[in-house]
Amino acid sequence: MNEILSILKYSEKTARIRILNPVIASKFEAGHFVIIKFSQNDLRIPFSIIASDKEEGWIDIIIHRADGLEDILEILKPGENVPDLLGPLGNPAVIEPGSSLLFFGDGAGVVPLLPLIHKAKLLGCKIKAVLSEHSSRTQCLRPEIDNDCETVVTVSDEKLLESALNLLVNEPVDKVIMSGPTMMMKRLSVETKKREIPAECLLNMLMIDGIGLCGVCRVIVGGQRKQTCTDGPIFNAHEVDFDQLFNRQRNYV
């Protein structure tokens, strides 16, 4: 259990880790995540599950050294066991079959979108994506994203929001699903609300226990306190208090 089956390095900083855990693999749905300690002295860190195989019993995660894991990619080896793996956590994404969707991702936000995009493809959705061209995580996942999307636009960070809005004007969608820097999601949320386009955001928060006891991942949604680990990680973007979220993230970094 929790054996590292393979490590696929996309670059010096980014790798795809395959871990054997039949229980988690059998329960995984798009939107779920796990919390991992790679050694007894490490912090517990949440990772989105980006793929799984129920029959073979494995799950895939993406590790990036910018996440504060500077040495972990040199330490991990296939055949070793992860000592602490909790999941699947969170609530799965709800995607209407056959709907038209725009996925918006920047930086670390690209990774958790991948299983949602794949689920949407299986449900016959019309899928467009606007992604940061400078994210190494975007580039390593592009073949999978391209395979599932009808349209993929990659632009500089400065033009991300503009490109997303242009797509929405020219090709209206049923829902926008976003993941990335907090204030960028805030700006897109404001614009989609003006246009009365439903929007969801996938939050990436620091967590400790993953079951709602520590309160570190607390966020205000619709004027109420929510826990990202148990109530999320996907929320109605028009109801999230992004200013409160931004200040909270600064306090815990």
Residues 37 and 133 grouped into a single domain: no
- What pLDDT is recorded for position 68? 58
Region 137-162 average pLDDT: 81
**What whole-number distance in Å separates Cα of residue 130 and Cα of residue 163?**
7
The residue among 42, 70, 89 that closes a domain is: 89
**What whole-number distance in Å separates Cα of residue 218 and Cα of residue 17?**
28
Residues 26 and 72 grouped into a single domain: yes
Rounded to the nearest integer, the mean pLDDT of the chain is: 88
pLDDT in tens, 81-115: 998 999 999 999 999 999 999 999 887 788 899 99
pLDDT value at 231 more than 90: yes
The residue among 68, 89, 110 that closes a domain is: 89
Residues 230 and 111 grouped into a single domain: yes
Q: Which domain holds residue 134?
A: 100-251
DSSP annotation of 250 reads: H
Using DSSP bridges, classify how beta strands 151-155 and 126-132 pair: parallel, antiparallel or unpaired.
Answer: parallel
Asked if 183 contacts 174 with a C-beta cutoff of 8 angstroms, the reply is: no
Residues 72 and 132 grouped into a single domain: no
Domain containing residue 16: CATH number:
2.40.30.10
Domain containing residue 157: CATH number:
3.40.50.80
Any domain includes 94: no
Quick one: CA torsion of 156, 252, 62, 163, rounded to 10 degrees?
A: -20
pLDDT value at 157 more than 90: no
Any domain includes 219: yes
Residues 14 and 132 grouped into a single domain: no
The residue among 36, 59, 89 that closes a domain is: 89
Residues 145 and 117 grouped into a single domain: yes
The count of domains in the chain is 2
Residues 199 and 119 grouped into a single domain: yes
Residues 182 and 108 grouped into a single domain: yes
Residue 154 has phi, psi (to 5 degrees) of -115, 125
Give the model's confidence band at 5: pLDDT under 50 very low, under 70 low, under 90 confident, else very high.
very high
pLDDT in tens, 42-81: 778 899 999 999 999 999 999 876 655 657 777 889 999 9
Residues 28 and 153 grouped into a single domain: no
- What pLDDT is recorded for position 66? 60
Greater confidence (211 vs 59) lies with 59
Residues 128 and 236 grouped into a single domain: yes
Q: Of the given ranges (16-20, 116-120, 170-174, 238-242), which has the lowest mean pLDDT?
A: 170-174
Residues 9 and 114 grouped into a single domain: no
Any domain includes 196: yes
Residues 136 and 62 grouped into a single domain: no
